[in-house]
Structure 1
Amino acid sequence: MSEALLASETPGAGATKAPVPASGARQFWRRLRTQRAALVAAAVVALLVLVALAAPLLTALEGQDPTSYHPGLVDSARGGVPVGSFGGISADHWLGVEPQTGRDLFARLVYGARVSLGVALAATLLQIVLGVAVGLASGLGGRWLDQTLSRATDVMVALPLMVFALALLAVIPSSVPRPVLVALVVGFIQWGGVAKIVRAGTISLKSLDHVAAARLSGWGGVRIARRELLPALAAPVITYAALLVPTNITVEAALSFLGVGVKPPTASWGQMLTSADVWYQAAPQYLLLPAAALFVTVLALTVLGDGVRTALDPRAASRLRIGTGRKREGGS
């Protein structure tokens, strides 16, 4: 419908053609390229994703795997401390070995990236799908449906994630794959924020002329949502999703650290931190490597999410520049 309204305003053949503005995607990339911090963060995230995808290839180049034990590489007389300097770093074990078990740290670190990033992305996708569906149904539905879904959304937003996730993960049988289970639990609990954003945007958008015209022409709610509402809601949803991913990585690490998330022998950064807290003096790299990986990943995703938000909403950057200019003028 909005396409028809725009077409009706197109000038005739004899009129002078105005320059065609850049598409939304081109404007987004143009604004994102002006932010150096976001570009660096995007490069770091791309490198982490590449490492996670290429984990089998990287470990094959090293000649190790994340689950094989090497008892000869640890000193049992000293409680399982890795033999050699710097935690057993050698040509065969690029980052050393795990205390007590002798498992290769590099292999567990790159496979842990697979689990941590995979769980976070899967949980974020589930949150977006549920939140968008509930928000659209609430904004487009009648008063009774809106009230019901709004109250359910309020309950999910107020629900303490860690407490509820701990309770669920503790009672569900261990036969269910833990990475899948953690992603499902986090996704089903934390969709309320997305639903609130989508509902508010839907209520604001459905009063506009092109949406009212689509409704009067007989379009159904699904078609209106797909053609008129979702394109306009894409920017806030993508921005919120970019900020959800680092949050979900932290949640997965915290659940694994508390012993209810990913279980051994599956490698994840949080699970590695669980057993590393007693080895920070004898084998500090066993604690520092997964902690540094978590810190860099969360920081890069947070900076990238902020850059995406600014690129999708340039008014935020304009307000910041105006406010900074006024402050400078007042101080001079």
Structure 2
Amino acid sequence: MSETLVAVGAAGAESSVPAASGARRFWRRLRAQRVALVAAAVVALLVLIALAAPLLTALEGQDPTTYHPSLIDSARGGVPVGSLGGISAGHWLGVEPQTGRDLFARLVYGARVSLGVALAATVVQVALGVAVGVAAALGNRWVDQLLSRATDIIVAMPLMIMSLALLSIVPSGFPRPVLVTLVIGLIAWGTIAKIVRAQTLTLKGLDHVAAARLSGWGTWRVARRELLPGLAAPVITYAALLVPTNISVEAALSFLGVGVKPPTPSWGQMLTDADVWYQAAPQYLLWPAGALFVTVLALTVLGDGVRTALDPRAASRLRVGTGREDAGAKTDREATA
């Protein structure tokens, strides 16, 4: 979080750079970070797998809901028949214990739910946070006080406890992925609202914003034309770090039994079902846990790379005295040489 806040302070300086030049500079800095590029490739592959889930399962010839009782050894308590959880040409990752549902199909369809919920919740959080933060910074003293106190209440709310309470009282007929998305998005927007408010207050004092006000522009025209471009860097940075957090929250809620419900597959719900099978069929636990770990790690590394590309000075400040030069700063120096 502290690294994210560091990135906020540089957005004002970046706002004076033309859009095209700023975009080229961003991509140049991001390409200089090989680890971030690898993480981006992993994220792109995961998104492609999630989007292509129907095609991939069709190639395998399976689906995520069909039971295969003939592939289960009832005498051993429902353990899959065969080695490595029943891996075969027809079941690429084996089958689920006790039900025989195809594990590969459930894993790729679970990626759709987990990634979709996380991305949609992030969009809700960013939209609410930006709207409240800008309104608080541009409003009068009473509006600022009211919205700031409401934001403080949201920030102080324990996300998991509030989510558990809300998800437990909603009727079961409501689409669960949509409900989880709304709950996460409506509870966890407070931090980004505080970041946006602080940055907007800083941008209000810049010369080009003052000139726009003196020219007779209205408040919301100033916000749309002068302030929102300067808010892009901190908002994109924080949003990139929110996605892996939301994936973990969705998995935790599903693991606790209040998130996505069967038969809809999600990685958290698969981990819940695998809780009693980790000794008899460990692959049933390892596949969704591994997918969750790789996704969160790749998104976190990519988010850090985006932060450094938007503000390489933050990374160079962290390396003061180490004798190492940040890759983005080195690339900029070579490009201007």
TM-score higher than 0.5: yes
The two structures have a TM-score, normalised by structure 2, of 0.90
Q: Which residue of 184, 187, 193 maps to 1:186?
A: 184
Instruction: Please show how residues 198-277 of structure 1 align to structure 2 within 5 Å.
Output: 198-277=196-275
- In the alignment, residue 309 of structure 2 is paired with which amino acid? A
- In the alignment, residue 62 of structure 1 is paired with which amino acid? E
- The structure, 1 or 2, with the larger RCO (C-alpha pairs under 8 Å, 6+ apart) is 2
Equivalent residue number for residue 176 of structure 1? 174
Instruction: Please show how residues 17-32 of structure 1 align to structure 2 within 5 Å.
Output: 23-32=21-30
Equivalent residue number for residue 282 of structure 1? 280
- In the alignment, residue 63 of structure 1 is paired with which amino acid? G
Shift, 1:320, TM fit? 3.3
Equivalent residue number for residue 37 of structure 2? 39
Equivalent residue number for residue 299 of structure 1? 297
User: Secondary structure of the residue that 1:324 maps to in structure 2?
Assistant: coil
- 1:124 matches 2:122: yes
CA distance in 1, matches of 2:59, 2:28: 38
CA distance in 2, matches of 1:91, 1:62: 8
- In the alignment, residue 168 of structure 1 is paired with which amino acid? L
Equivalent residue number for residue 99 of structure 2? 101
Taking only the aligned residue pairs, the percentage that are identical comes to: 83
Shift, 1:21, TM fit? 11
CA distance in 2, matches of 1:131, 1:194: 5
The two structures have a TM-score, normalised by structure 1, of 0.91
Equivalent residue number for residue 310 of structure 2? 312
Shift, 1:238, TM fit? 0.2
- In the alignment, residue 224 of structure 1 is paired with which amino acid? V
Deviation track 1:271-296 (CA, whole Å, cap 9, x = no partner) reads: 00001011111111100000000000
Equivalent residue number for residue 61 of structure 1? 59
- 1:74 matches 2:72: yes
- In the alignment, residue 167 of structure 1 is paired with which amino acid? A
Q: CA RMSD in A?
A: 1.4
Q: Where does the alignment leave 5 or more consecutive residues of structure 2 unmatched? A: 1-15, 325-337
Please identify, of 244-253 and 67-76, the stretch whose mean Cα deviation from structure 2 is larger: 67-76
Number of equivalences: 308
Shift, 1:259, TM fit? 0.1
Shift, 1:325, TM fit? 2.3
Shift, 1:322, TM fit? 3.5
Deviation track 1:48-67 (CA, whole Å, cap 9, x = no partner) reads: 00000000000000000000
CA distance in 2, matches of 1:270, 1:317: 34
Equivalent residue number for residue 4 of structure 2? none
CA distance in 2, matches of 1:258, 1:151: 31
Q: Where does the alignment leave 5 or more consecutive residues of structure 1 unmatched? A: 1-5, 7-19, 327-332
CA distance in 1, matches of 2:288, 2:19: 46
Shift, 1:128, TM fit? 0.2
User: Secondary structure of the residue that 2:276 maps to in structure 1?
Assistant: coil
CA distance in 2, matches of 1:107, 1:289: 12
Instruction: Please show how residues 80-91 of structure 1 align to structure 2 within 5 Å.
Output: 80-91=78-89
CA distance in 1, matches of 2:22, 2:58: 42
